A = this chain, B = another copy of it.
């Protein structure tokens, strides 16, 4: 039985970085998440695309075993996002957002999807995230992502979702914005008070940290010679994190820590090229090698 369900976006991205540009390439939170997680477990995807969406993109996901039974094809154009990065690749400047069929997205879960042990609510309207939670039978673990747009405009709904999930995966700046607390330690603690028992804070080139019941775990970002395009890094991270947990079938601290490192491993590959390009040629062996390198970079005792 597929282990992991993701509800999010499938998009066409147009990206400019100091190192190159890419037009209408495969993107979207559910895309990066599910492709990344597919290296660890079986994945079900719920999203919407327009009739203009290239079949070849769907084939890429299907070949990884991603169950597309929850992918709606609607009349109208696919969600398109255009963004630009400067030499500081930590933050994208949005040039254009065309929601298209995503504007009226209402996640429809096939009956077979309602019982999936791990659920990732990627960055969509918190009201829709609440709707998904009403439709599923209680999963073993629910993780949530969001963005500044919902923090500013849908704070109440977001707090209601947060009260119902196990894990919250968030950027450092979003964590500060949500809690109105500049100190990241206090911000993390405050989020634990909102409901989740696991808070994962992503810090871009500085790695990530996880806070659980007052315990901290830090992982660095992989020291890359060149970050090419950070688009999708966060969703790829979440895919590795959730995929690793689903594969392990355990939720203890050691399993959570390994999952954080696998998330970092997967994200470190995604940023090496546009879109899914690096993941498309990624092997299990490369994942294991980089995991061992992370271990080595963090090891305190011989």
Contacts and interface: CB of A to CB of B under 8 A. Distances in A.
A206 B224 CA distance: 17
A295 B302 contact: no
A248 interface: no
Chain B CB within 10 Å — which of A218, A224, A295 has the most? A218
Interface string A250-269: 00011001100100000000
- Copy number of this protein in the oligomer? 2
Interface in A63-84: none
Chain B CB within 10 Å — which of A205, A254, A257, A299 has the most? A299
A300 B217 CA distance: 9
Question: DSSP class of A's interface residues: helix, strand, loop or mixed?
Answer: mixed
A298 B297 CA distance: 10
A294 B183 CA distance: 19
Contacts of A87: 182
A224 B203 CA distance: 17
Given A184-B205, A218-B220, A298-B298, 16 more contacts: A87-B182, A183-B224, A183-B226, A185-B223, A186-B225, A206-B206, A206-B207, A209-B220, A215-B296, A215-B297, A217-B297, A217-B298, A218-B298, A253-B302, A257-B300, A294-B300
